[in-house]
Amino acid sequence: MSKAVTAAVILVLVVIAMIWMVFPFDGTPESGQPPAHAIDQSNKLFPVTVRNLDGGRQPATPVPARRALKPEHLQPLPVPSGPRERRRCNMKKALRDAVVVITGASSGVGQAAAEAFAQRGSKLVLAARDAAALQRVAKTCRELGTEVLVVPTDVTDADAVKELAEKATSFGKIDVWFSNVGVGAVGRFVDTPIAAHEQVIRTNLIGHINDAHAAIPVFLKQRHGIFINMISLGGFASTPFATAYSASKFGLRGFSEALRAELADEPDIHICDVYPTFMDTPGVGHGANYTGRKLSVPPPVYNARRAARAIVRLAERPRASITVGLVADLARFVHFLAPNTTTRLLAQLTSRYLKQAPRAENSNGNLFRAPAVAGGIDGGLRSSRRIPVATVAAAVVVGFAVAALIAGKSRVSYRGVLR
């Protein structure tokens, strides 16, 4: 059966590698807004475009919008019976007055989450090392009509994080703490300075523990709170050439699971994990690079605002963990079935990419100090061409069909020998 699983994994990774080569990056950032033709502006008619047989496009006849439901068609929703149920049903409304702390809020998913919570009317406490970048994010959020407190903080400093929590409670409470800080160092293990390995662990693991150690006492005192840990795909699928990053993310997942178990008797305190796939943020450009080559990430790369929307939904309806992006689910499943094979093939693909990538100078990136330019939300990593994610899903199905056939033949041969 191990050969069958190996065959399936190889097939899936080959298809992903083909997609990687066929759909190159052109660095075209997206605005994160839906196309104009996808929005029903008039609430009466909306345009639909169809493709001719020869590949051209032509406008089709306008399609009437769905008829509005009549009052007699509407059924009343059940009224929640207990206090816990009422809290859950009212959580979305409560975000308007919720106090949300976000660490790593100066760019990327942190900035996108700040803007998303601001649109809901939440009061924000923004933290990161770069004070100037935080002020720019705060200005945008204030223009959305919310209150913002800026607290420059290095999460590797436990005392500084405690001070962050104290300042956040000036709003009277803390409802959500989004622990989002993360750094990376890419390079062969022996080529990466030990100080870089230590700083990745200190930031990605100890930094999140510092966040929790400051937030959880507040939650226990007020008897409610949501702690959201940004982990990543690397929390369940190891990443060759980023060994410390893998160690930090695996460790963070274990920490989160253990803390969740300790707080199981507190029904209104939630420890939530987010496992996104590759996001289009400045993170790759900001990270430490000891490969001597220009770094990028394989497609599909998702809009960071998609992760932000998922985080807001998690604050509205807490659950233990969520993934963002189909690739995260596929990678998790394939790695579960054949972890060693998957990791070896990933290492081979990464090594091949690095041999062909343009040369670049080694850099400590943002490991030891904030980046010179925060970079905003987008990293310019998404391709303007649509990536057929469904093809990857189909590869998984076909791969396991092949595995089943191989396994079936193995059983037949084995039984034949026994007879």
Query: pLDDT value at position 3?
Result: 55
Residues 6+ apart with CB under 8 A from 291: 186, 187, 188, 191, 241, 354, 357, 360, 362
- Four-residue CA torsion sign, 154, 158, 163, 168: positive
SS (H, E, C) 207-271: HHHHHHHHHHHHHHHHCCEEEEEECCHHHCCCCCCCHHHHHHHHHHHHHHHHHHHHCCCCCCEEE
| Helices (H) then strands (E): counts for the chain | 13, 15
Which range is most confident: 61-75, 204-218, 230-244, 373-387?
Answer: 204-218
3-state secondary structure 291-303: CCECCCCCCCCEE
Residue 314 near residue 322 (C-beta atoms within 8 A): yes
Longest alpha-carbon distance in the chain: 78
Higher pLDDT, 123 or 28: 123
d(CA 23, CA 184): 25
Question: What are the residue ranges spanned by the domains of the chain?
Answer: 87-339+360-388
Express each pLDDT in 92-110 by its tens digit: 447 998 999 999 999 999 9
* Percent over 70 (pLDDT), the chain: 69
Phi, psi for 252 (deg, rounded to 5)? -65, -40
Residue 265 has pLDDT above 50, yes or no: yes
pLDDT of residue 57: 46
| Range list of β-strands (E), 268-341 | 269-276, 279-280, 288-289, 302-303, 321-324
Rounded Cα distance between 210 and 393, Å, is 38
Residue 52 is predicted with a pLDDT of 42
Instruction: Compute the C-alpha angle 290/296/301, nearest 5°.
Output: 145
Segment 150-187, tens digit of pLDDT: 999 999 999 999 999 999 999 999 999 999 999 999 99
Pairwise CA distance, residues 114 & 126, whole Å? 8
**344-400: pLDDT as tens digits:** 887 888 888 888 889 999 999 999 999 888 779 987 776 555 444 444 444 444 444
What is the token pair recorded at 135?
């002020």
User: Beta strand 45-46 with 63-64: parallel, antiparallel or unpaired?
Assistant: antiparallel
Q: How far apart are CA 219 and CA 256, in angstroms?
A: 16
> Would you please indicate which residues are annotated as catalytic (active-site) residues?
245
pLDDT in tens, 39-55: 333 333 333 343 443 44
Task: List % helix, strand, coil for the chain (3-state, nearest 5).
Answer: 50, 15, 35
Ranges 58-62, 143-147, 216-220: which has the least confidence = 58-62
Please state which CATH number belongs to domain 87-339+360-388. 3.40.50.720
